[in-house]
Amino acid sequence: MAPKKKQSENSGKIQVTQIGSKLGRKSDQEATLIGLGLNKMNRTKVLEDTPSIRGMINKVQHLVKVEQL
């Protein structure tokens, strides 16, 4: 078995910032923003880079900005 690689402290993390309003959006998009921890404009969260988080981001990609850490 190959030895595990050491990961840096922020490896696998992404920073998500809400840049669009949830007003007038479908309820599922609003719920997705809340699920990401974003409930107001210009709020930023640092999240794990997982397939489920990426799927949520994809659903509201027009409302968020994503940066790799």
CATH number at residue 41: 3.30.1390.20
Query: For residue 6, is it within any domain?
Result: no
Per-residue model confidence as pLDDT tens digits over 21-61: 999 999 999 999 999 999 999 999 999 999 999 999 999 99
DSSP 8-state symbol, 50:
-
Strand partners, 16: 45, 66
pLDDT at residue number 62 = 96
Query: Contact at 8 Å (CB) between 47 and 36?
Result: yes
Residue matched to tokens 């409302």: 63
Query: For residue 1, is it within any domain?
Result: no
Query: For residue 39, is it within any domain?
Result: yes
Query: For residue 4, is it within any domain?
Result: no
Query: For residue 57, is it within any domain?
Result: yes
pTM for this model (two decimals): 0.80
Query: For residue 5, is it within any domain?
Result: no
Domain count, the chain: 1
Main-chain dihedrals φ then ψ at residue 51, nearest 5 degrees: -60, -35
- Structural domain including 49 reads 13-68
